[in-house]
């Protein structure tokens, strides 16, 4: 089977962009990968790591001749990054991205690149690590990639983007951008907000020294710190770009938390037990779908733990 695209430009060479570059080279060796990053030091590092076949000094030069451009920058920078590519884009090129919020990104890309085909996407994969050193070719293996094509999208171009992500090992689903933003608000964005909050709360408690927080971190708090170590620029932009959906889910969460608070105050063990039993079923479902591992520490080895 031939590769869906002949040349792919990856803009933003951090964890996701670097991983795409490596994954394309591993899965589709005949496809040329061109990379670009606004940071000169990252461009130099990307060349050393072989994240792409070529890493030009100018964004528009990186876009020349490519039939797919994937923007891997924070969602708040999508419009600016896209505009920098405009002079180098070929006719018929597909513009996509990896952003965690989709409605705002679709608008930003359409405004920056009128007349070009924009098909947003979101690979639901990542780690707490960032930067060009963080990338690895298997990041997308057996992970979901959600594609949110606009209503008037060319079905042939959508099919090519689906084939691209499947070639990288991803499982592909499609949905409306607004629906995606609501789903991800509860499955990804809200958990990150809670993690940032609880880790911040622990560090602010005056009666607990920082050394004690670190020394006595049990499994639950330790996992929160892993999530809270994620790229602050990326997550700042995610919360601002998906503001409405995040606030809606945060209100629901606050109401549920209040109910648990009442149960604890009243000594209502039945309510607590029923709630905890219901949430255990969610965990079992995630494992059964192959999206995590039932083994201790989620089956991670030292290397896997960085993934």
Chain mean pLDDT for the chain: 88
pLDDT of the residue at 287: 65
Q: Is residue 46 over pLDDT 70?
A: yes
Which position has the higher pLDDT, 88 or 298? 88
Q: What average pLDDT score do residues 192-202 get?
A: 85
H or E segment and range at residue 111? helix 103-112
Which residues touch 303 (CB under 8 Å, ≥6 apart)?
none
Q: What average pLDDT score do residues 122-132 get?
A: 86
Which position has the higher pLDDT, 300 or 224? 224
pLDDT of the residue at 12: 97
Cα atoms in the 13 Å half-sphere on the side-chain side of 148: 24
pLDDT of the residue at 297: 46
Please state the pTM of the whole predicted model: 0.80
What domains does the chain contain, in order, with CATH numbers?
A: 7-175 (3.40.50.720), 179-306 (1.10.3660.10)
Report residue 150's pLDDT band, with 50, 70 and 90 as the boundaries.
very high
CA distance 70 to 73: 9
Q: What pLDDT, in 10s, does the model give residues 258-282?
A: 999 999 999 999 999 998 888 877 7
CA distance 36 to 14: 10
Which position has the higher pLDDT, 224 or 307? 224
pLDDT of the residue at 34: 98
Closest CA to 188 of 227, 141, 135: 227
Q: What average pLDDT score do residues 16-33 get?
A: 96
Q: What is the DSSP string of 8-58?
A: EEEE--SHHHHHHHHHHHHH-TTSEEEEE-SSHHHHHHHHHHTSSSB--SS
Two structure tokens written together for 239: 């919360």
CA distance 116 to 108: 13
Two structure tokens written together for 193: 């907000």
First-last CA distance in the chain = 29
pLDDT of the residue at 282: 74
* Count of CB atoms situated within 10 Å of the CB of 220: 8
Long-range CB pairs of 250-257 (<8 Å, 24+ gap) are 250/190, 250/193, 252/186, 253/190, 253/194
pLDDT of the residue at 203: 74
Q: What average pLDDT score do residues 104-112 get?
A: 94
Q: Is residue 58 over pLDDT 90?
A: yes
Q: What is the DSSP string of 238-271?
A: HHHHTHHHHHHHHHHHHHHHHHHHHHHHHT-HHH
Please give the radius of gyration of the chain, using alpha carbons only, rounded to the nearest integer.
21
pLDDT of the residue at 192: 86
């Amino acid at each position: 089977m031939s590769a869906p695209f002949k040349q792919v430009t990856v803009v933003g060479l951090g964890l996701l962009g670097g991983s795409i570059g490596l994954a394309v080279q591993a899965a589709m060796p005949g496809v040329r990968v061109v990379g670009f990053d606004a940071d000169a030091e990252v461009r130099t590092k990307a060349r050393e790591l072989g994240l792409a076949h070529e890493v030009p000094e100018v964004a528009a030069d990186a876009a020349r001749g490519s039939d797919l451009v994937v923007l891997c920058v924070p969602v708040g920078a999508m419009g600016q990054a896209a505009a920098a590519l405009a002079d180098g884009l070929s006719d018929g090129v597909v513009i996509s991205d990896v952003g965690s919020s989709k409605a705002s990104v679709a608008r930003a890309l359409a405004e920056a690149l009128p007349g070009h085909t924009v098909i947003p996407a979101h690979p639901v994969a990542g780690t707490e690590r960032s930067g060009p050193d963080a990338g690895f070719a298997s990041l997308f293996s057996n992970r979901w990639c959600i594609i949110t094509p606009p209503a008037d999208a060319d079905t042939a171009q959508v099919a090519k983007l689906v084939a691209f992500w499947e070639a990288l090992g991803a499982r592909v689903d499609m949905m409306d951008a607004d629906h995606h933003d609501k789903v991800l608000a509860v499955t990804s964005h809200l958990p990150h907000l809670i993690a940032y909050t609880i880790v911040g709360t622990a560090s602010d408690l005056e009666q607990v020294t920082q050394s004690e927080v670190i020394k006595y971190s049990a499994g639950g708090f330790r996992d929160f710190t892993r999530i809270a170590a994620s790229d602050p620029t990326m997550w700042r932009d995610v919360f601002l770009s998906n503001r409405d959906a995040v606030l809606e889910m945060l209100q629901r969460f606050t109401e549920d938390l209040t109910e648990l608070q009442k149960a604890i105050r009243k000594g209502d063990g039945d309510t607590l037990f029923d709630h905890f039993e219901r949430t255990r079923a969610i965990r079992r479902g995630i494992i059964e779908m192959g999206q995590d591992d039932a083994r201790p520490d989620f089956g991670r080895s030292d290397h896997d733990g960085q993934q």
